């Protein structure tokens, strides 16, 4: 069978949820390097605007001397609450109005509060489901009809290796990422059945060096990856479409091999490499800032409402 020719990404238009920081920001940067146009949406609209300005400035700095500046920015920022279907629709419509019909939609937004299930509040459970599950559903429901009608498009759902296993200390988070993996697989099957030429990629990183994973303990055998690693893996999946996108790639091999073992064997390996403790024994002090921000990722908070803040040492 002939090897599939990599797709040219120059001029393609992408939208990224949760694009103001972390993996979303680095994915936007990687897309811009490929010559794509990018819309980033985030609940923190001010930070999204700042991110867009910084990434556009980086792009401008790489422009050859004497080259004419572009007629319009290559990246734009928009307010986005992924838990609200109307907000997702407004984001997509604004992106397409300003940049053109979307070729790529990256369901990136997500939160990961840590703690045991018995200590987790009902509010935290609801928030994780609203963002990590319903946010992905709202994004897919908004863009897939557009992709099917146009006969092209690529939906990228950012899950996690936690979507292939249960990791102590993040029970609800693992459940939400299992959902993203299962949803992505079912959507891929439905699109194939319908003969729709729309691609789906499910991105499953190991622990990523972002604020979300602050304080997580190292595991043996699977190194932490950077947001840039994840971004490059997504770019590769756009060039040569594939469903399973493990970061690092070795994680896919490990998951496959471990998956054929009986439960006692799988759990024994998890203990041997420390995967059973990586989240449940995370450094709470290192996570305080993130946990506070994740706790406030609540669409019911009104703009301008006084929020709790951390004080040095407090």
pLDDT digits (tens, 9 = 90+) for 157-209: 999 999 998 899 999 999 999 999 999 999 999 999 999 999 999 999 988 88
**Sheet of 199-205, strand order:** 75-79, 37-42, 13-17, 104-107, 154-158, 199-205, 244-247
CA distance linking residue 135 with residue 110, whole number of Å: 8
**Is residue 311 in some structural domain?**
no
SS3 assignment for 115-177:
CCHHHCCHHHHHHHHHHHHHHHHHHHHHHHHHHHHHCCCEEEEECCHHHCCCCCCCHHHHHHH
Interior angle at CA 298, CA 293 and CA 300, nearest 5: 145
Peptide bond into 160 cis (omega under 30): no
Q: Which of 131-140, 169-178, 201-210, 231-240 has the lowest mean pLDDT?
A: 201-210
For residue 23 the two structure tokens come to 């993996």
Convert the pLDDT of each residue in 173-183 to its tens digit: 999 999 999 99
For residue 289 the two structure tokens come to 């800032």
- pLDDT recorded at residue 64: 83
CA distance linking residue 58 with residue 62, whole number of Å: 7
Which of 2-11, 157-166, 248-257 has the highest average model confidence (pLDDT)?
A: 157-166
Look at 307 and 250; give whichever has higher pLDDT.
250
The Cβ of residue 50 has, within 10 Å, a number of other Cβ atoms equal to 14
- What is the domain-level CATH number for residue 268? 3.40.50.720
Contact 114, 286 (CB under 8 A): no
The mean per-residue pLDDT over the stretch 4-27 comes to 95
Q: Assign 3-state DSSP to the chain and report helix, strand, coil percentages, each to 5.
A: 50, 10, 40
- pLDDT recorded at residue 303: 40
**Is residue 172 in some structural domain?**
yes
- How many domains, in total, are found in the chain? 1
CA distance linking residue 108 with residue 157, whole number of Å: 7
- Catalytic residue IDs: 173
- pLDDT recorded at residue 256: 75
Convert the pLDDT of each residue in 77-126 to its tens digit: 999 999 999 999 999 999 999 999 999 999 999 999 999 999 999 999 99
pLDDT band at 298 (very low <50, low <70, confident <90, very high): low
- pLDDT recorded at residue 207: 83
CA distance linking residue 134 with residue 176, whole number of Å: 9
- pLDDT recorded at residue 283: 78
% of the chain surpassing 90 pLDDT: 66
pLDDT band at 2 (very low <50, low <70, confident <90, very high): low
Residue 96: phi and psi, rounded to 5, are -70, -30
CA distance linking residue 145 with residue 142, whole number of Å: 7
Concatenated DSSP letters of 256-313 = HHHHTS-HHHHHHHHHHHTTTTTTTT--HHHHHHHHHHHHT--TTSPTT-------TT
**Is residue 269 in some structural domain?**
yes
Q: What is the number of residues in the chain? A: 314
- pLDDT recorded at residue 3: 61
CA distance linking residue 83 with residue 76, whole number of Å: 21
**Is residue 305 in some structural domain?**
no
Residue 307: phi and psi, rounded to 5, are -110, 155
Average pLDDT, the chain: 88
Q: Is the pLDDT of residue 1 over 80?
A: no
What is the Rg, in whole angstroms, of the alpha carbon atoms belonging to the chain? 20
**Is residue 87 in some structural domain?**
yes
CA distance linking residue 69 with residue 310, whole number of Å: 42
**Is residue 182 in some structural domain?**
yes
- pLDDT recorded at residue 101: 98
Query: Which structural domain, as residue segments, surrounds residue 191?
Result: 13-62+72-295
**Is residue 153 in some structural domain?**
yes
Which helix (H) or strand (E) segment holds residue 204: the answer is: strand 199-205
Task: Give the predicted TM-score (pTM) of the model.
Answer: 0.89
Contact 254, 24 (CB under 8 A): no
Look at 177 and 288; give whichever has higher pLDDT.
177
Q: Is the pLDDT of residue 263 over 60?
A: yes
**Is residue 34 in some structural domain?**
yes
Q: Is the pLDDT of residue 309 over 70?
A: no
Q: Is the pLDDT of residue 269 over 80?
A: no
Q: What is the DSSP letter of 21?
A: S
């Amino acid at each position: 069978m002939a090897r599939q020719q990599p797709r040219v990404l120059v001029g393609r238009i992408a939208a990224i949820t949760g694009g103001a920081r972390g993996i979303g920001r680095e994915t936007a940067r990687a897309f811009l390097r490929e010559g794509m146009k990018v819309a980033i949406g985030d609940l923190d609209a001010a930070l999204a605007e700042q991110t867009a300005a910084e990434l556009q400035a980086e792009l401008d700095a790489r422009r050859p001397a004497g080259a004419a500046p572009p007629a319009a920015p290559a990246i734009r920022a928009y307010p986005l609450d992924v838990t609200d279907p109307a907000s997702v629709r407004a984001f997509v419509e604004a992106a397409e109005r300003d940049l053109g019909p979307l070729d790529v939609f990256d369901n990136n937004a997500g939160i990961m509060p840590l703690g045991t299930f018995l200590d987790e509040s009902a509010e935290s459970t609801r928030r994780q489901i609203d963002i990590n599950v319903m946010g992905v559903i709202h994004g897919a429901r908004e863009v897939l009809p557009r992709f099917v009608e146009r006969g092209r498009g690529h939906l990228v759902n950012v899950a996690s290796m936690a979507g292939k296993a249960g990791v102590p200390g993040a029970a609800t988070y693992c459940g939400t990422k299992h959902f993203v993996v299962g949803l992505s697989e079912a959507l891929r099957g439905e699109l194939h059945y319908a003969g729709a030429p729309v691609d789906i990629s499910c991105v499953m990183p190991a622990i990523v060096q972002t604020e979300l994973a602050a304080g997580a303990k190292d595991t043996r055998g699977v190194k932490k990856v950077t947001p840039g690693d994840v971004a490059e893996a997504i770019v590769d999946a756009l060039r040569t479409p594939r469903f399973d996108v493990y970061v690092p790639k070795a994680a896919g091999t490990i998951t496959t091999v471990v998956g054929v073992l009986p439960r006692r064997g799988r759990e024994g390996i998890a203990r041997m490499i420390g995967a059973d403790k990586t989240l449940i024994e995370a450094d709470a002090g290192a996570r305080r800032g993130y946990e506070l921000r994740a706790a406030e990722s609540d669409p019911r908070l009104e703009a301008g409402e006084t929020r709790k803040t951390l004080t040095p040492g407090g």
